[in-house]
Each structure stands twice: as structure tokens, then as C-alpha cells.
């Protein structure tokens, strides 16, 4: 089991050394040796023209019980309002469930979650609702315990949740408690029907490399998905589904964490995730004050203000405006990137926007590769002109 | 306070690409570094120790070369470091990794706080922290941006999308921190001298009293079946001319698209 | 270089590039004292370099100090001189302090908790150091200081000052003594911060003593040793100033070279023009020579040599003249851009000038070198 070099076939050409992303191959006495840490990604096998690399996957212990059926979506909510990512996941989940010929269910924890009934309109056949003041705020311990209980009881084969701070915080706990696999931050989900497997695609190395991952011998197969990666369908209000209200007994569960207060960041007047237009600034702005120029443009267009990482790191604008790998993922109708070079980590957060406009004085800036329309120029000339013209209309 | 910081050595750049012709990975001579997010975790651990006394132990699961990174941790203020290294640990996903780390932490003295960085540069999952907490049966808070009070349990600030929450967390516990929490220090001369000669024990599977089926590739629930380059469709049009022309052109195109 | 010396150099370079470089333009523009950076230097143990181990230092020598000063100067000599001046102040305590005086003050300087400074110069006494007028009148239990010191680096920020004052006007060269004066001593005031041409991050102030009483425990060495202490301490810290000059020159050389590589004129980078190449080559030769001389003198001092006055003077004169030449030529390479404050090079030229002036003007030092040369030759006969 593992990786083996067939020393008879290996001729020491070294092609495989260059392509290993972890630098684990080396030439010793004209033959290739593998260092510790190989995770069998097969990059070397594909590069070897002598068929000298053998990779044997672990013997698949089929612990998969035929009893695991159904696709679940954790419908995250805050203050009674369901997050957009839940609807996006139900839309995608419906597709997956149809392929598997299985049921799609939504699971929602909270208090006074008015919109819970709307979840059926997005494709849910069932909605498991735990509505109680005890879990009004997000407490990892309580959410984890209840979700694990439900999964053990109803045995879904696939569980999806938004890769939000909440999702990325408590889903790993659920997965670890169930000793099953969890793939974070997925941007692609497909079904391998033959093996009833969820093929989970996600970015690694900051988005430079995509990896496809499976969870073959454990159930449920769990994944968190980035918001605004999948589109949400138009809801079908007529669609019928079952709303199953469940009790919550605090009983055995001790939540050790205490939520004392919530302090809202009020500088983000227009919510980045919900707007149709975003005006965003990068290092090219030069200093904090220059965000005023972009604010003016944003006001004229009724847009929200965004930023790449460097201005946030420099303290020119709060983190809540950051778009990118470690910031927010957005998918507006129009994204205007001013003085943003287009590093892969930033693109990860906005490249699915419908129309992307880039204004940058460097013609080689990577942002131009994803821009629908690019202007190579001085943003301090172009933006005021844009503002003037738009005001005039 | 006994603090454990979990560190990972990662490739020094995310600039890894796939050769479109051979569909294989191209890695340009990369140095290995301490995962940048873990630097914040280490710094916070050292600051806490300076504030209330105690020890900081840096721990890492990785290949033998990760020892270099653990020495760096000592030069930055960690009192000691342990490397978990064994062929059996290789190929681990986050589940197997957190299991291995958990067994190692149990072998150390009684720990009050375990700090992890929010995610790694290469894996980007952010899962080891919470899974580790689960393995150890400890409370867990993610995205901590400030540790305010350490008198009865901890008062911390947790970053959420719309702002931040104030949380009270009893110890022992596990937290992950974000980069807003501090500015990591540079090494000190005494730290560098200490790091040079510090003994860094290597614990293998045998030393950890571990269930061999739960570590490494065997203990992983997920595995990678394919790697490829992200598709980037170049659909762009660079608008030509003087700024005035460009702007006029742009607005007209936006008008056509129904946006303005 | 030993491993330890390389470690010092590399760490100082990292601090300079990661923590000082982003701030230097602002520090210069606002003439702000770099407290945050002082904190970084402290937590990295850089202040421990020039303090012996028994006083919580790392026991480094002159070369280690020069390496640190050079690397810091390469990025900002205003920060570097703040660091070096504290070393100068500490040196007087190290060389002439009693056990008690050393134990009381050196650990705090080593930890960077308190900065030190050295005060000799007055309005009427620059090169003519013997013309100082500040007096220290003996009283019951101590001395009363009266007078004003001028152009004191770290003035107002440091907490421990070594002050040279007259204890007996009649005795000429033996008429002065050295004293340790702490910042908040009653009767000890500071003048306004001077507005300087360069090293603007550094604080330069007058020290004003008006019936300032200090205890007799604050006498450094013996009465009458003031000028001897000053001369010897300045001798030993001259390599540090020389290292500062080398650092400035190195920074300017690198900046000029990088600029020349990317500035396109006549369709080529200007570095392909031979005139520019020769300028850069001459600059590089001079920096290398200055560095070699400074390190050589530092090693001589570290080997325990007793008399190093001449060598130290040579290093300082040569390196500072090199710094002035190199930075001036570097501005020239930058052309018009070199005159604009958005570019870092004009600051380096402004910073370089002072190295030819303080810690002994190059003219006075040339006198010293000629005098040593003459003495040596006459001893041969």
C-alpha cells in the first residue's frame, strides 16, 4: 500500500522530482526515492514516461452501510434570518439528490426562524427544524451535539453546509465526532453514481491548484461550500415539503462557551454579499484617504465598497470589506477592481462576478485575465471621469 | 499557564502551477516555511506566557525537515518543541492529523490552552483546530481576534462576518486565531542561540501509544483523487484610447448590459 | 565572521527591512522618535550586544556592534544613531563605572528598557572640547551642576546621561569630571528638539542644568578624569559612527543600482551607459574599502589592543567621506527623481553629512592622525 518506485523501470530522468508539489522525490544513486509525507496525489505517476511509479490506494474497507441515504443541507441562520448560502446549497443539493434518486432535506437550528418554511421552495423534501430560544445564538457545543444526534438517527449519505465562519467552525467537530471525512471550502460537487460517491473539488495552494477529493469508506460524506459559488434557483412557492419540528433537550449537553455580547461592525453600510455592484480598491490606491474616491463612485452607483487584502493589512479599511481567500466571496452583477493586481487569493473571492471591470496602470496585472473590460490607466484619472459621467446621466 | 501551539511547515509559496501540456504540477524551487497563520498562534502563546507565566510547547506533525521550523519557533519564544514524525503518519487528512496531535498533546503535561492558526497556506481547510478539540473533548472557539481577560476562564473576541462577539471560554480549551490578533515578533539573539542547541525530541507512532489504523493515510477518511489547474476563461477586452474614450466606451457597454 | 556575528548581522538586517523600512519616510518627514522600533530592537536583544554577560548582556564586541549599526543604517541611519548613541552612553559606564554603578544601570540598558546618552559638546565647545563651561560644584553629599550641553543625541528620550562638567577650572586638562545624571533629576531640563538636515528620526536636544544636585555616587571614575574618559570613550565608539557611514553608503549604492536598472532612457536602462557604470563601480569600490577598514579596526579593538586612536579616527574619516561622496553620486544617478522626497535617496544624502561632523569633525581627526603619524616617526629615531 502506498507509493513504490519500480527500480528496474526507473531511469533517473528526474521528471517526477519537478512536479511533486511537496518536494518529496529525490535522486539517490541514479534512482528515485520517495521521502516521507506522500499523500498519493499521483502527480509524479502522470509525469513518469517509464511507468516506474506504482501507487496502490489503501484497501477500501467498505464500512458504508446501505442504510445511508439522502442529501442534507445545514441551513444556517442568524437572528431568525436564513443565510443565502443555504438556498444556494439546496439548489445544488436538489441536483445531487436527483442524480442519486434520494431525498433532499434541510436542517435548521435557531429561534423564531420565520423563513424555515421557504426552504421547501428551494427543493427540500423535508425540513428538520429545531426552533428554541436555547439555541438562539450560535454555540458550537450545542449545535455539534444536536447535529450529530440527528445524523446518527436519520443517516444521510451526504451533508453540506456553507463554508462560513459558523460552518467552518462546527462542521469539523461534527465530522470528528462521527469519525467521517469533511472537505472544506468546496467549489465543485459532482456525483459518481457507480460508487454513490460525492466528488468534492476545492482550491489548494491559495487557489493555484484544484484538488478533487472523495470520502469513500465513511458516512456521511461531509463538505462545506463557499457562499456564492453555486447559484440559487428561483424558489417554487408551490412546492410542497414536510416540516418536521424537533425538540431540543439541553439535558446531557453542557455548553462550556458563554456568548457575552455581539458588536456589529457598522462601517459596512451596504452589505457586500447582497449588492449587485461592488467598487473595490487595492494597493494601487496608495493610501487610506484615497478610498474616499472609490466611496464617491460607490455612492453614485449605489454600490458597496470592497477591498483586496493589502489595504486591510495596512489598516486603510476594515476587514469586513475584504474580498478574497481569507475574506468574503462575492458574486455581484458588476465588480469594479481599482488598483488591484489580481492575485490568485483575491480572484478566489470575486471571479464569478458577472461583469468584472479592472482599472490598473500595469498592463501585465493578472486582474486583466479575468476582467470582462479592462482599462490600462491611472485610476486617479479614470475614476473621477467615470464619476463625472455617471453623475451627468 | 501551559500552552501548546500546533504548527505546520508548508511550502514557501502558493505559486504552484500545472503544466497545461502534461497536466502535471510545476513547483519552482520552494523553501519551506512556518505556516504564516501559525506565526500568529505562536506569538499569542508567547505573549500569554509573558503575561501570566507558564510554558509554551510547540508541536508539529511532519517530515524530519520540519525540525528546522520548530527551531524557529524556539527562537521566537517557545520554551520547547516536539516533532511527531513517522512514515505511518504520512498522507494524513485533517481527521488523522488531529488524532495524532491529540495523542501527542495528551502525552505532554497538563495543558491549559491549545492554540492553532486559522488555516494552512497549502491545505486551507481550517479543520485541524476544531477536530483536535473534538478528539480531546475540549471546548473550542474559532477566529479569535483578541484575548481580553484571563482571570476566570478567558474572555475573547471572536470575529464573525458582521462584526465580533465577546465569548467567555473556560480552560482547558482549544482556539484558532486570526491575523488581526497580533503582530508576530522577530526572533531575539538569545532565542536564536537557544534554538540552535535545543533538543527537539521526535516522537514516532510507537512512542505515542497510538492506534495505527487511525493515523496517516490509513486513518484518513478523505483522499485526493485528482489535481488540476483551475480553469480561467480569458474573456477580457482591453478598452483602448485616452481615458475619456475608455470611460465613455465603458459606460456605454454597462448601459447595454442594463447596469447603468 | 563567526556564526554569532553572522546571526547578529542577519537579524539586524531583518529588523531593518521588515520593521524600519516601511516607516522610515514617515519618521523622517515627521521627525518622530522611533519608540516602537526601539521596542523591537530591545525585544530582539540588540541592546544586549554591547553589554557584558554579567550585566544581562550578551558580551559582544566592537565588530558585533558595528555589524548591527551598519545594517540598521543601511535602511535608516536616524534609527541607527539612536541605537549607537545609547551604546556610547553605556560604554562610559562600562569602562569607568564602579561595580555598583554598573549593576544599577547596565541591565536596564541591556534590556532596552532605558536608553543612554553622552553629553560633552556645548555652544562654545565643539571641536574645542576643553572650552566647556558647565560646572559641577562640590557640595555636601554630591555636586551641583550648572550649564547647558548642546546637540545631544537621544536628548530628552534617554534616561541615563553621562555628562562631562568642570570640577576645577584652574586645573585645565584635569579640571573636568564625568557624572551620571538621570532624566527626572530636579534641575535637569531639556531644550527644544533641534530641527535637523538629516537623521531626523533621532532626537537632538540641549541639556539644561540649573542648580541640579546629584549625589556623589554619580561621579564616574575619579574627579579630574572627565576629559580622559571622554577621549577614550569617543575613541572606542568611533568605529560605530564609521559603521553607520558604511551602512548609509551601502543603502545608497543599492538604491542607485536598482534605479539605474529600471530607468529607461534612449530605449535602454541607464545602467547600460558606461558613465553610469563607472560611477556605480567607483561607489562600490569605496564602500567595500570603507567596510574593510571599519571591520579591521573593530577586530583590532576586539583583540584587546590598547591604543587605537589613530585607526579609529582613520576609519571614521574615510567612511564618512565615502558616505558623502557615494550618496551625492547616488542622487546624481537618480537624476531629477533623486531630488524628489518620494524617493528614498535624498534622505540618505542628508543623513550622510553629519557623519563627517559629529564624534570629532573630520578636520580635527585629520589633525589627530597627522599627530600620531608624527609621534610614531619621531619615536623611530
Is residue B236 pLDDT above 60, yes or no? yes
**Which of A220 and A231 is assigned the larger pLDDT?**
A220
What are the pLDDT digits (tens) for C237-295? 999 999 999 999 999 999 999 999 999 999 999 999 999 999 999 999 999 999 999 99
C15: closest chain B residue by CA? B186
What are the pLDDT digits (tens) for C337-368? 999 998 999 999 999 999 999 999 999 999 99
B16: closest chain A residue by CA? A208
Rounded to an integer, what distance in angstroms lies between the CA atom of residue B101 and that of residue A31?
A: 34
**Which of B149 and A386 is assigned the larger pLDDT?**
A386
pLDDT level of residue A61 (50, 70, 90 thresholds): very low
Q: Are C321 and C362 in contact (CB under 8 A)?
A: yes
The whole-number average pLDDT for the span A60-81 is 79
Q: What pLDDT score does A196 carry?
A: 87
The whole-number average pLDDT for the span A75-93 is 91
Rounded to an integer, what distance in angstroms lies between the CA atom of residue A332 and that of residue A351?
A: 10
Considering only CB atoms, which chain C residues are within 8 Å of B185? 40, 43-44
Query: C109 vs chain B: nearest CA distance in angstroms?
Result: 16
**Which of C108 and A42 is assigned the larger pLDDT?**
C108
Considering only CB atoms, which chain B residues are within 8 Å of C15? 186
Query: A247 vs chain B: nearest CA distance in angstroms?
Result: 24
C57: closest chain B residue by CA? B190
| Conformation bin of residue B127: beta by default, left when phi > 0, alpha when psi is -120 to 50 | alpha
C-alpha distances out from residue A76 to A149, B143, C26, Å = 17, 18, 46
Is residue C305 pLDDT above 60, yes or no? yes
Q: What pLDDT score does A48 carry?
A: 85
Q: What pLDDT score does A268 carry?
A: 57
| Conformation bin of residue B2: beta by default, left when phi > 0, alpha when psi is -120 to 50 | beta
Q: What pLDDT score does C367 carry?
A: 97
Is residue B217 pLDDT above 90, yes or no? no
- The owner of cell 460552518 is A167
Rounded to an integer, what distance in angstroms lies between the CA atom of residue C156 and that of residue A290?
A: 37
CB neighbours of C98 closer than 8 A, spacing ≥ 6?
none
pLDDT level of residue B16 (50, 70, 90 thresholds): low
Considering only CB atoms, which chain C residues are within 8 Å of B186? 11, 14-15, 18-19, 40, 43-44
Q: Flag the least confident range among A26-35, C146-155, C228-237.
A: A26-35
Per the CB < 8 Å rule, is B189 touching C46?
yes
The whole-number average pLDDT for the span C314-327 is 98
Give the best residue of B23, B29, B95 to mutate against chain A (max A CB count within 10 A): B95
pLDDT level of residue C324 (50, 70, 90 thresholds): very high
Give the best residue of B184, B185, B186 to mutate against chain C (max C CB count within 10 A): B186
Rounded to an integer, what distance in angstroms lies between the CA atom of residue C104 and that of residue C113?
A: 13
Query: A touches which chains (3+ CB pairs under 8 A)?
Result: B
Considering only CB atoms, which chain B residues are within 8 Å of C44? 185-189
**Which of B145 and A55 is assigned the larger pLDDT?**
B145
Rounded to an integer, what distance in angstroms lies between the CA atom of residue B10 and that of residue A238?
A: 51
Q: Does B36 touch chain C (CB under 8 A)?
A: no
What are the pLDDT digits (tens) for B114-156? 999 988 877 778 899 999 999 999 999 999 999 987 776 789 9
Rounded to an integer, what distance in angstroms lies between the CA atom of residue A308 and that of residue A378?
A: 18
Q: Does B17 touch chain A (CB under 8 A)?
A: yes
C276-279: long-range contacts, CB 8 A cutoff, minimum separation 24: C276/C333, C279/C329, C279/C332, C279/C333
Q: Nearest-CA neighbor of C42 among C18, C15, C65? A: C15
Q: Could you give the residue numbers annotated as active site of C? A: 359
What are the pLDDT digits (tens) for A272-311? 877 889 999 999 999 899 999 999 999 999 899 999 999 9
C-alpha cell at C152: 545631544
Rounded to an integer, what distance in angstroms lies between the CA atom of residue C237 and that of residue C86?
A: 11
Closest partner residue to B227 among A57, A209, A376, by Cβ?
A: A209
Q: What pLDDT score does B19 carry?
A: 61
Rounded to an integer, what distance in angstroms lies between the CA atom of residue B133 and that of residue C27?
A: 45
- The owner of cell 415539503 is A241
Q: Flag the least confident range among A23-32, A266-275, C204-213.
A: A266-275
Q: What's A323's DSSP letter?
A: B
Report the mean per-residue pLDDT for chain A: 86
Q: What pLDDT score does B26 carry?
A: 59
Phi, psi of A162 (to 5 degrees): -70, 140
CB neighbours of A58 closer than 8 A, spacing ≥ 6?
A1, B217, B218, B223
Q: Does A38 touch chain B (CB under 8 A)?
A: yes
Strand partners, B4: B57, B114
**Which of C189 and B12 is assigned the larger pLDDT?**
C189
Rounded to an integer, what distance in angstroms lies between the CA atom of residue A336 and that of residue A278?
A: 6
Is residue A236 pLDDT above 70, yes or no? yes
C-alpha distances out from residue B193 to A302, B113, C198, C352, Å = 58, 27, 36, 34
What are the pLDDT digits (tens) for A170-212? 899 999 999 999 999 898 999 998 888 999 998 877 677 788 9
pLDDT level of residue A1 (50, 70, 90 thresholds): low
Rounded to an integer, what distance in angstroms lies between the CA atom of residue A224 and that of residue A202?
A: 10
Q: What pLDDT score does A78 carry?
A: 85
Closest partner residue to B235 among A39, A165, A372, by Cβ?
A: A372
Q: What pLDDT score does C149 carry?
A: 97
Q: What pLDDT score does A22 carry?
A: 66
Q: What's C73's DSSP letter?
A: H
Closest partner residue to A215 among B14, B222, B229, by Cβ?
A: B222
The whole-number average pLDDT for the span C43-53 is 95
Closest partner residue to C8 among B186, B189, B191, by Cβ?
A: B189
Q: Nearest-CA neighbor of B155 among B163, B164, B146? A: B146
Give the best residue of B18, B87, B94, B124 to mutate against chain A (max A CB count within 10 A): B124
Considering only CB atoms, which chain B residues are within 8 Å of A268? 162
What are the pLDDT digits (tens) for B176-214? 999 889 999 999 999 999 999 999 999 999 998 889 899
What are the pLDDT digits (tens) for C114-147? 999 999 999 999 999 999 999 999 999 999 999 9
Per the CB < 8 Å rule, is C15 touching B186?
yes
Is residue A59 pLDDT above 50, yes or no? no
pLDDT level of residue B20 (50, 70, 90 thresholds): low
Q: What pLDDT score does B44 carry?
A: 96
Rounded to an integer, what distance in angstroms lies between the CA atom of residue C198 and that of residue C153?
A: 13
Rounded to an integer, what distance in angstroms lies between the CA atom of residue B202 and that of residue B82?
A: 6
Q: Are C32 and C26 in contact (CB under 8 A)?
A: yes
pLDDT level of residue A104 (50, 70, 90 thresholds): very high
Report the mean per-residue pLDDT for chain B: 87
Question: How do beta strands B154-160 and B163-169 pair?
Answer: antiparallel
Q: What pLDDT score does A37 carry?
A: 65
Q: What pLDDT score does C184 carry?
A: 95
- The owner of cell 544581562 is C56
Q: What pLDDT score does B119 carry?
A: 84
CA C366: distance to chain centroid?
A: 19
Q: What pLDDT score does A187 carry?
A: 87
C-alpha distances out from residue B53 to B176, C39, C43, Å = 21, 21, 17
Query: B186 vs chain C: nearest CA distance in angstroms?
Result: 7
The CB density around residue C48, as the number of other CB atoms within 10 Å, is 24
Is residue A80 pLDDT above 60, yes or no? yes
Amino acid at each position: 500500500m502506498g507509493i513504490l518506485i519500480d527500480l528496474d523501470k526507473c531511469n533517473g530522468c528526474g521528471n517526477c522530482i519537478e512536479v511533486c508539489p511537496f518536494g518529496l522525490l529525490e535522486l539517490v544513486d541514479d534512482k528515485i526515492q520517495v521521502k516521507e509525507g506522500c499523500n498519493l496525489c499521483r502527480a509524479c505517476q502522470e509525469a513518469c514516461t517509464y511507468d516506474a511509479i506504482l501507487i496502490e490506494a489503501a484497501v477500501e474497507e467498505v464500512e458504508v452501510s446501505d442504510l445511508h441515504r439522502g442529501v442534507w443541507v445545514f441551513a444556517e441562520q442568524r437572528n431568525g434570518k436564513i443565510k443565502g448560502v443555504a438556498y444556494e446549497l439546496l439548489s445544488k443539493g436538489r441536483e445531487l439528490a436527483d442524480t442519486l434518486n434520494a431525498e433532499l432535506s434541510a436542517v435548521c437550528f435557531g429561534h423564531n426562524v420565520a423563513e424555515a418554511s421557504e426552504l421547501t421552495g428551494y427543493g427540500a423534501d423535508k425540513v428538520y427544524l429545531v426552533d428554541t430560544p436555547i439555541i438562539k445564538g450560535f454555540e458550537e457545543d450545542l449545535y455539534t451535539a444536536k447535529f450529530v444526534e440527528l445524523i446518527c438517527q436519520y443517516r444521510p449519505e451526504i451533508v453540506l453546509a456553507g463554508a462560513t465562519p459558523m460552518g467552518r467552525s462546527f462542521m469539523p467537530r461534527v465530522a470528528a465526532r462521527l469519525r467521517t471525512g469533511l472537505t472544506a471550502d468546496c467549489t465543485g460537487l459532482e456525483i459518481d453514481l457507480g460508487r454513490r460517491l460525492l466528488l468534492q473539488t476545492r482550491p489548494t495552494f491559495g487557489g493555484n491548484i484544484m484538488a478533487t477529493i472523495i470520502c469513500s469508506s465513511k458516512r456521511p460524506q461531509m463538505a462545506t461550500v463557499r457562499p456564492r459559488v453555486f447559484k440559487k434557483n428561483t424558489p417554487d412557492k408551490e412546492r410542497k415539503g414536510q416540516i418536521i419540528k424537533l425538540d431540543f433537550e439541553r439535558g446531557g449537553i453542557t455548553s462550556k462557551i458563554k456568548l457575552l455580547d455581539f458588536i456589529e461592525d457598522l462601517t459596512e453600510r451596504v452589505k457586500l454579499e447582497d449588492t449587485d455592484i461592488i467598487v473595490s480598491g487595492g494597493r494601487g490606491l496608495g493610501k487610506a484617504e484615497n478610498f474616499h474616491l472609490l466611496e464617491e463612485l460607490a455612492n453614485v452607483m449605489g454600490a458597496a465598497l470592497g477591498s483586496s487584502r493589502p489595504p486591510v493589512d495596512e489598516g486603510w479599511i476594515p476587514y469586513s470589506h475584504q474580498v478574497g481567500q481569507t475574506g468574503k466571496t462575492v458574486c455581484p452583477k458588476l465588480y469594479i477592481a481599482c488598483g488591484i493586481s489580481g492575485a490568485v487569493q483575491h480572484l478566489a473571492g470575486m471571479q464569478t462576478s458577472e461583469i468584472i471591470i479592472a482599472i490598473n496602470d500595469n498592463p501585465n496585472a493578472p486582474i486583466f485575465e479575468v476582467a470582462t473590460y479592462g482599462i490600462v490607466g491611472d485610476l486617479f484619472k479614470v475614476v473621477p471621469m467615470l464619476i463625472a459621467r455617471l453623475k451627468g446621466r | 499557564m501551559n500552552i501548546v501551539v500546533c504548527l505546520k511547515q508548508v511550502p514557501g509559496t502558493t505559486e504552484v502551477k500545472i503544466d497545461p501540456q502534461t497536466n502535471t504540477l510545476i513547483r519552482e524551487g520552494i523553501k519551506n516555511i512556518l505556516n504564516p497563520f501559525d506565526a500568529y498562534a505562536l506569538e499569542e502563546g508567547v505573549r500569554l506566557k509573558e503575561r501570566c507565566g507558564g510554558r509554551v510547547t510547540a508541536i508539529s506533525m511532519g517530515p524530519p525537515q520540519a525540525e528546522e521550523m520548530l527551531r524557529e519557533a524556539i527562537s521566537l519564544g517557545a520554551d520547547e518543541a516536539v516533532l511527531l514524525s513517522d512514515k505511518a503518519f504520512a498522507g494524513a487528512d485533517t481527521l488523522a492529523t488531529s488524532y495524532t496531535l491529540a495523542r501527542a498533546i495528551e502525552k505532554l503535561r497538563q495543558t491549559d490552552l491549545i492554540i492553532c492558526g486559522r488555516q494552512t497556506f497549502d491545505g486551507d481547510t481550517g479543520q485541524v483546530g476544531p477536530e483536535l478539540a473534538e478528539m480531546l473533548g475540549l471546548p473550542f472557539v474559532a477566529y479569535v481576534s483578541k484575548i481580553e481577560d484571563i482571570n476566570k476562564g478567558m474572555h475573547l473576541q471572536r470575529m464573525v462576518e458582521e462584526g465580533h462577539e465577546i465569548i467567555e471560554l473556560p480552560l482547558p480549551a482549544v482556539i484558532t486565531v486570526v491575523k488581526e490578533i497580533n503582530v508576530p515578533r522577530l526572533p531575539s539573539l538569545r532565542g536564536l542561540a537557544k534554538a540552535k542547541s535545543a533538543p527537539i525530541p521526535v516522537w514516532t507512532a510507537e512512542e505515542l501509544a497510538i492506534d495505527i489504523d487511525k493515523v496517516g493515510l490509513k486513518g484518513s477518511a478523505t483522499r485526493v483523487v485528482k489535481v488540476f489547474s483551475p480553469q480561467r476563461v480569458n474573456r477580457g477586452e482591453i478598452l483602448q484610447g485616452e481615458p475619456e474614450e475608455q470611460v465613455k466606451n465603458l459606460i456605454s457597454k454597462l448601459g447595454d448590459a442594463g447596469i447603468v | 565572521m563567526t556564526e554569532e556575528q553572522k546571526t547578529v548581522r542577519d537579524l539586524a538586517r531583518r529588523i531593518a527591512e521588515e520593521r524600519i523600512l516601511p516607516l522610515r519616510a514617515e519618521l523622517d518627514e515627521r521627525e518622530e522618535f522611533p519608540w516602537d522600533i526601539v521596542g523591537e530592537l530591545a525585544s530582539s536583544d540588540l541592546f544586549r550586544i554591547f553589554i557584558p554577560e554579567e550585566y544581562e548582556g550578551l558580551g559582544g564586541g566592537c565588530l558585533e556592534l558595528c555589524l548591527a549599526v551598519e545594517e540598521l543604517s543601511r535602511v535608516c541611519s536616524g534609527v541607527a544613531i539612536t541605537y549607537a548613541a545609547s551604546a556610547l552612553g553605556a560604554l562610559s559606564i562600562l569602562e569607568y563605572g564602579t561595580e555598583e554603578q554598573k549593576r544599577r544601570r547596565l541591565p536596564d540598558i541591556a534590556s532596552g528598557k532605558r536608553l543612554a546618552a553622552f553629553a560633552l559638546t556645548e555652544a562654545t565647545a565643539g571641536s574645542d572640547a576643553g572650552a566647556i563651561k558647565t560646572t559641577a560644584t562640590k557640595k555636601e553629599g554630591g555636586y551641583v551642576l550648572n550649564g547647558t550641553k548642546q546637540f545631544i543625541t537621544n536628548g530628552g528620550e534617554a534616561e541615563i546621561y553621562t555628562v562631562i562638567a568642570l570640577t576645577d577650572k584652574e586645573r585645565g586638562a584635569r579640571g573636568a569630571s564625568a557624572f551620571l545624571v538621570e532624566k527626572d533629576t530636579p534641575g535637569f531640563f531639556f531644550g527644544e528638539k533641534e530641527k535637523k538636515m538629516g537623521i531626523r528620526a533621532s532626537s537632538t536636544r540641549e541639556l539644561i542644568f540649573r542648580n541640579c544636585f546629584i549625589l556623589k555616587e554619580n561621579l564616574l571614575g575619579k574627579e579630574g578624569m572627565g576629559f580622559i574618559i571622554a577621549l577614550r570613550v569617543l575613541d572606542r565608539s568611533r568605529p560605530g559612527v564609521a559603521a553607520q557611514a558604511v551602512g548609509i553608503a551601502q543603502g545608497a549604492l543599492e538604491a542607485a543600482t536598482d534605479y539605474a536598472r529600471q530607468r529607461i532612457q534612449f530605449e535602454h536602462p541607464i545602467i547600460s551607459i558606461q558613465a553610469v557604470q563607472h560611477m556605480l563601480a567607483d561607489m562600490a569600490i569605496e564602500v567595500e574599502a570603507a567596510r574593510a577598514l571599519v571591520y579591521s579596526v573593530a577586530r583590532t579593538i576586539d583583540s584587546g589592543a590598547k591604543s587605537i586612536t589613530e585607526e579609529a579616527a582613520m576609519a571614521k574619516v574615510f567612511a564618512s567621506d565615502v558616505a558623502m561622496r557615494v550618496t551625492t553620486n547616488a542622487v546624481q544617478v537618480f537624476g531629477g527623481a533623486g531630488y524628489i522626497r518620494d524617493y528614498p535617496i535624498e534622505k540618505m544624502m542628508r543623513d550622510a553629512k553629519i557623519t563627517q561632523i559629529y564624534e570629532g569633525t573630520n578636520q580635527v581627526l585629520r589633525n589627530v592622525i597627522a599627530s600620531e603619524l608624527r609621534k610614531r616617526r619621531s619615536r623611530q629615531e
